[in-house]
Structure 1
């Protein structure tokens, strides 16, 4: 890996620090490499000063290459995701609105951990004043997020029905489940 082209030696070694940094940061084709090299120099210097750890030049260059490859791969994957026809996740700000009198609102949410796949649901039923009339939570074992969201709706509707409510507005944050 050649960081400095021979034609740039005079500019690289002869410039003032501020101008030198600005020049290299503004270079679109080398700004990534420049940033990673500066960061690696700083980290290696700190390791040496504060822990006495000395790194060989070859190890230093291998780390730089690995970081550059890591960042480029991440950028390539990001471009691939955003250029494909996959739906992009959108966030929508939601706030609770009271139901009409004689109605209740069921708010339900499901959750699945990415590490284990274990799911849980919870929810509550509120009246038109916002007062909590009932709440529930349960462990579902392993299932998909959509199944967890739908199970929360089912459990909440069953609870509302058992309490005698027949006018129930359901709110949840899963577009897929809706």
Structure 2
């Protein structure tokens, strides 16, 4: 609602758009922004901006209020769903050096005699000695050395070594999966054996501990299908230890841009550097011969990739209407965007202001939006990247005016040569 300084009756945005002579227009500093507003017949609703669907929930409210510490994304790897939860929790404690070993208790002012329960040398018990140099630790790391290079107390602390292993592990590969999970289990088994000997005077043989660790790893590694194949050397090491992972087979597909049978087609794509981050969108309209009729590259500022995809489609349709071009087919490599038009539901409330007019335009033109692989959408992808990098809005009407990065894919699409897709 808008009102003038003299407390005149309030004026709605709809009334202003319907009456251009409304005096309240004088109070709007940027009239062109208000002129571009698209009003729908839907009822106004309250939006909770901290959830993806715009609906309030206590989880999102708590997420705003709860205190946050230092963010360490790599630490999320130890909470893999197939890892033993006790081992993950204990590793988290080791990294933060909160394990109640004798040296830790002494540091808090409680003086007591100290002797490592996991070795025969009578060494004082601290984190580095217990998990690196004790008899049990040395034997377990020696057994696991084909996967992980054993830690060395002369070079770094044990917690630093653990953190380096976590950061460098790749859970998409079976070798990285086994390396990280084996490290967690070895640490956990060392602590369990330490407590048995320290409090119950019970001893477990090294062979039994190794068998327990191997059983846990074998049970976990057989469940997922890994997307990254290990090297031949890594695979031979895994097989020698009795681990047989399932690896996703790579299939080679030939993908090419298919021109429309008649009329024009629109390819659109969005990009976000950081997701969310600086975003942009691009698209091109081509005829059945692959000739460029119109192309655009628009910078959208800060946003996520889904917003960029929706805005690119919206802008492509608006430009086609402005230049009098009739679109018969639309292609996008965003399966979520294409599915939203099939389900008649905006992918998120943040995209609704661009998605709704795009949907209305598609319905009025009776045009469908189809999903294509990224390899068949190279020109639009290059335009979106160009817009994100150059921070500007540009429209191209000829092939020669396209950015250099877009001319190569446009030429390949026109000749009908396929791209190779691995998947």
Q: In structure 1, what is the equivalent of residue 281 of structure 2?
A: 121
What is aligned with 1:99? Answer: 260
Deviation at 1:115, TM superposition (A): 6.9
- SS of 2:259's partner is coil
Map of 1:59 onto structure 2 = 156
CA shift for structure 1 position 116: 6.2
Please tell me whether Structure 1 or Structure 2 has the larger radius of gyration of its CA atoms.
2
Q: 1:3 and 1:118, CA in 2 relative to 1: closer, same or farther beyond 3 A?
A: same
Q: 2:311 maps to what in 1? A: 151
Cα distance change on mapping 1:69 and 1:164 into 2, 3 Å: closer
Map residues 1-178 of structure 1 onto 2, 5 A cutoff.
1=131, 2-4=137-139, 30=144, 33-37=145-149, 57=154, 59=156, 63-70=160-167, 75=177, 94-101=255-262, 103-114=263-274, 117-178=277-338
Alignment gaps of 5+ in structure 1:
6-11, 13-23, 25-29, 42-55, 83-91
Post-superposition Cα deviations, 1:89-134, rounded to whole Å, max 9, x if no partner, equal xxx9753111122x11111110011176111001111000011111
Instruction: Quote how far apart the aligned CAs of 1:34 are.
Output: 3.7
Q: Alignment partner of 2:336: what SS?
A: coil
Aligned residues of 2:275 and 2:305 also touching (Cα < 8 A): no
Partner of 1:46: none
Q: State the SS of the aligned residue for 2:163.
A: helix
The change in CA–CA distance for 1:93 and 1:155 in structure 2 (over 3 A counts) is: farther
Q: Work out the number of aligned pairs and report it.
A: 127
Question: Is the 1:104–1:168 contact (alpha carbons within 8 Å) kept by the matching residues of 2?
Answer: yes
More strand by share: 1
Using the alignment, how far apart are the partners of 1:154 and 1:115 within structure 2? 20
- CA–CA separation in structure 1 for the residues paired with 2:288 and 2:170: 52
SS at match of 1:124: strand
Runs of 4 or more, structure 1, over 6 Å off, are none
What is the CA–CA distance in structure 2 between the aligned matches of 1:125 and 1:62, rounded to whole Å?
56
TM-score calculated relative to the size of structure 1: 0.56
TM-score, normalised via structure 2 length = 0.26
Describe the shift of the 1:65–1:147 C-alpha distance in structure 2 as closer, same or farther (beyond 3 A): closer
Change in 2 beyond 3 A, CA 1:68/1:174: same
Cα root mean square deviation, aligned: 3.5
